[in-house]
């Protein structure tokens, strides 16, 4: 069916060939040799071949063979056959003392019928490598590499004579679809008809964008058109699988390009329609960009490598379209877009099945991205309140989000004096008491002192104490807190709760007033 292209590369003929052979661990060579000695074909295949040829360290190693799973198990008795797709997991011990790993050894196979747009209805074992390679998604992922060692056996099937005359060469590259050429051209090209391949498995569209970001490649035009045409079928893919690809895109340093590709290829409207609502939505005189452009540019300029912070940058203004008001023909306002934005962010992340702690972190960053800060005006106690709300561990990330927000607005300076001063203030209050745990008195002390049983009242008294200590750290003194607790103990639970809340509300209003004063503070 395909014109067979067996390229023989002699050691030394090509730099990446030398690299490939050097980088292939002995345990992989051993697996290949053992399979060949038992009379089977064996190749390393897929993503690891692509990475080797690009002189990148492969993340994992895959071996493909014409041996059926039961034969693979005979050769590797401690292997585990876990599924029906021909994959045997062979445990290996890397020589460099790293933890034990597994290598996936998979029988050649083909896949038929994808009525649900994500799983093949049937998987069939095959006898030829060509069949196996043609089921793979992209040309750069559809190459196989045969390692030729001293113990290698000549392989008769589908090899021309030349290959064993030259069997002292380091390896043979089996490249039926022009993968090596596409690696050179830096393009992601579907194997076969793009539209058909995306119809079979819609996740491949996300994989194409993810690989382009990871490798710094472009999509080949026909592959790109295939995605635009089939984009709607992404809705058949589970949230978890979309999330995994999205995280991988955000983790690369091409996250901005990745989100723009998703937008241009019409995938983003299914993944995060809320973000697309910002397209064409103008802001006010403080902003030169529309909401959508500002969002993606904030992502682009995020100084943090953490995907959670990048996602927060992308989503921080997600609620601007629905909170936009134009009062008396004047400037647009976006009151509460931070609070509502946190809710929208949570909704998006729940839909995409993100982990609870990631949802908490990203929503907290979005909720707090408008914090007010002006040198000289803002007190240590308000910085402590901010630290309490955001959590000490998230402060650097909140600053990173603010830098992203500024740079994404087209404001040239990354970190103005104001933000540097805030960092200084944060450092200054770093060891101050901002949580109940940091008070000079704890629940046990209170129970003994007041002679009361464990219960909500203890917690309520601690909350009031904390709200007062946040305002004035000098009060965090055991003697004083004991005296104050005796006073507070005269109040009932309801009064105590109101008192703690009052303090928070009162301070929140002060903060809000400040924000309003400057309207939108950068």
Which residues contact ligand ATP by CB under 6 A?
Answer: 46-47, 59-60, 62, 136-137, 141-142, 201, 203-204
Nearest-CB residue to Mg ion? 47
For the bound state, the minimum distance from the C-beta of residue 204 to ligand ATP, rounded and expressed in Å, comes to 5
In the complex with ligand ATP, the residue whose CB is nearer, 113 or 456, is 113
In the complex with Mg ion, the residue whose CB is nearer, 60 or 505, is 60
Residue 136 near which of Mg ion, ligand ATP, none (CB within 5-8 Å, type-dependent)? ligand ATP
For the bound state, the minimum distance from the C-beta of residue 199 to ligand ATP, rounded and expressed in Å, comes to 12
Residue 141 near which of ligand ATP, Mg ion, none (CB within 5-8 Å, type-dependent)? ligand ATP
Range 15-44, binding Mg ion (CB under 5 A): none
For the bound state, the minimum distance from the C-beta of residue 48 to Mg ion, rounded and expressed in Å, comes to 6
Residue 333, Cα to own-chain centre: how many angstroms? 32
The span from the CA of 422 to the CA of 383, in Å, is: 8
For the bound state, the minimum distance from the C-beta of residue 16 to ligand ATP, rounded and expressed in Å, comes to 17
In the complex with ligand ATP, the residue whose CB is nearer, 119 or 351, is 119
Of the candidates 461, 468, 458, 460, the residue with the CA atom closest to the CA atom of residue 506: 468
Residue 203 near which of Mg ion, ligand ATP, none (CB within 5-8 Å, type-dependent)? ligand ATP
For the bound state, the minimum distance from the C-beta of residue 118 to ligand ATP, rounded and expressed in Å, comes to 9
Buried b (16+ CB within 10 A) or exposed e, 307-332: bbbbbbbbbbbbbbbebbeeeeeeeb
The span from the CA of 51 to the CA of 93, in Å, is: 22
Among positions 47, 69, 86, 226, the unique one binding Mg ion when judged by CB under 5 A: 47
In the complex with ligand ATP, the residue whose CB is nearer, 123 or 279, is 123
The span from the CA of 137 to the CA of 14, in Å, is: 26
In the complex with ligand ATP, the residue whose CB is nearer, 88 or 370, is 88
In the complex with ligand ATP, the residue whose CB is nearer, 208 or 342, is 208
The span from the CA of 201 to the CA of 204, in Å, is: 6
Tokens for 346? Answer: 């949570």
For the bound state, the minimum distance from the C-beta of residue 236 to ligand ATP, rounded and expressed in Å, comes to 13
- Tell me the DSSP string of 458-477: HHHHHHHHHHHHHH-GGG--
In the complex with Mg ion, the residue whose CB is nearer, 60 or 492, is 60
CB distance 286 to 320 below 8 Å? no
Residue 88 near which of ligand ATP, Mg ion, none (CB within 5-8 Å, type-dependent)? none
For the bound state, the minimum distance from the C-beta of residue 197 to ligand ATP, rounded and expressed in Å, comes to 8
The span from the CA of 142 to the CA of 400, in Å, is: 40
The span from the CA of 92 to the CA of 101, in Å, is: 5
What distances in angstroms separate CA 172 from CA 62, 129, 160, 169, 432, one per listed residue?
Answer: 16, 13, 12, 8, 64
Residue 201 near which of Mg ion, ligand ATP, none (CB within 5-8 Å, type-dependent)? ligand ATP
Nearest-CB residue to ligand ATP? 47
In the complex with ligand ATP, the residue whose CB is nearer, 47 or 86, is 47
In the complex with ligand ATP, the residue whose CB is nearer, 207 or 351, is 207
Tokens for 481? Answer: 């807190």
For the bound state, the minimum distance from the C-beta of residue 141 to ligand ATP, rounded and expressed in Å, comes to 3
Q: What is the CA radius of gyration of the chain?
A: 30
Range 364-393, binding Mg ion (CB under 5 A): none
Does 120 bind Mg ion (CB under 5 A)? Our answer is no
Of the candidates 134, 2, 6, 113, the residue with the CA atom closest to the CA atom of residue 64: 134
In the complex with Mg ion, the residue whose CB is nearer, 47 or 226, is 47
For the bound state, the minimum distance from the C-beta of residue 110 to ligand ATP, rounded and expressed in Å, comes to 11
CB distance 278 to 341 below 8 Å? no
The span from the CA of 333 to the CA of 316, in Å, is: 16
Range 54-73, binding Mg ion (CB under 5 A): 60
CB distance 469 to 503 below 8 Å? no
Task: With H, G, I as helix, E, B as strand and everything else as coil, classify residue 101.
Answer: strand
- Tell me the DSSP string of 196-213: HHHHH-THHHHHHHHHHH
Residue 490 near which of ligand ATP, Mg ion, none (CB within 5-8 Å, type-dependent)? none
> At 112, phi and psi to the nearest 5?
-130, 145
For the bound state, the minimum distance from the C-beta of residue 223 to Mg ion, rounded and expressed in Å, comes to 20
Contact residues toward Mg ion (CB under 5 A) are: 47, 60
């Amino acid at each position: 069916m395909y014109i067979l292209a067996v390229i023989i590369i002699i050691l030394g003929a090509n730099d990446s060939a030398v690299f490939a052979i050097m980088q292939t661990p002995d345990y992989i060579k051993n697996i290949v040799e053992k399979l060949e000695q038992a009379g089977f074909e064996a190749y390393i295949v897929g993503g690891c071949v692509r990475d080797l040829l690009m002189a990148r360290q492969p993340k994992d190693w895959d071996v493909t063979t014409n041996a059926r799973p039961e034969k693979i198990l005979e050769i590797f008795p401690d292997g585990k056959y876990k599924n029906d797709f021909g994959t045997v997991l062979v445990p290996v011990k890397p020589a460099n003392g790293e933890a034990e790993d597994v290598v996936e050894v998979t029988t050649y196979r083909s896949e038929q019928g994808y009525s649900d747009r994500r799983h093949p209805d049937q998987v069939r074992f095959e006898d030829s490598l060509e069949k196996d390679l043609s089921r793979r998604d992209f040309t750069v992922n559809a190459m196989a590499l045969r390692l030729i060692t001293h113990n290698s056996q000549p392989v008769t099937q589908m090899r021309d004579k030349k290959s064993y005359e030259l069997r002292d060469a380091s390896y043979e590259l089996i490249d039926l679809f022009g993968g090596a050429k596409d690696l050179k051209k830096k393009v992601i090209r579907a194997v076969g008809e793009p539209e058909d391949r995306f119809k079979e498995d819609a996740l491949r569209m996300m994989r194409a964008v993810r690989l382009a970001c990871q490798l710094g490649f472009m999509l080949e035009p026909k592959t790109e058109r295939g995605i635009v045409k089939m984009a709607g079928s992404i809705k058949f893919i589970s949230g978890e699988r979309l999330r995994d690809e999205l995280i991988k895109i955000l983790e690369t340093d091409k996250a901005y390009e990745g989100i723009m590709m998703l937008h241009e290829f019409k995938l983003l409207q299914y993944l995060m329609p809320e973000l697309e609502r910002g397209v064409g939505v103008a802001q006010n005189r403080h902003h030169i960009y529309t909401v959508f452009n500002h969002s993606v540019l904030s992502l682009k300029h995020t100084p943090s490598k953490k995907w959670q912070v990048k996602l927060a940058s992308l989503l921080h203004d997600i609620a601007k379209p629905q909170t936009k008001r134009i009062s008396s023909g004047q400037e647009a306002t976006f009151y509460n877009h931070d609070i509502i934005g946190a809710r929208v962010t949570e909704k998006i992340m729940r839909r995409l099945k993100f982990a609870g702690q990631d949802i908490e972190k990203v929503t907290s960053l979005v909720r707090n991205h408008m914090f007010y800060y002006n040198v000289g005006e803002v007190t240590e106690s308000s910085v402590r309140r901010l630290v309490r709300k955001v959590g000490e561990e998230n402060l650097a990330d909140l600053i990173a989000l603010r830098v992203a927000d500024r740079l994404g607005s087209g404001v040239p300076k990354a970190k103005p004096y104001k933000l540097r001063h805030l960092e200084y203030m944060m450092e200054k209050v770093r060891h101050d008491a901002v949580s109940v745990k940091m008070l000079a008195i704890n629940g046990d002390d209170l129970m003994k002192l007041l002679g009361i049983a464990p219960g909500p009242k203890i917690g309520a008294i601690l909350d009031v104490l904390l709200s007062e200590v946040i305002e004035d750290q000098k009060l965090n003194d055991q003697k004083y807190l004991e005296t104050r607790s005796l006073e507070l103990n005269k109040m009932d639970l309801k009064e105590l709760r109101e008192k703690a809340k009052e303090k928070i509300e009162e301070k929140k209003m002060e903060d809000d007033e400040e924000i309003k004063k400057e309207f939108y503070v950068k």
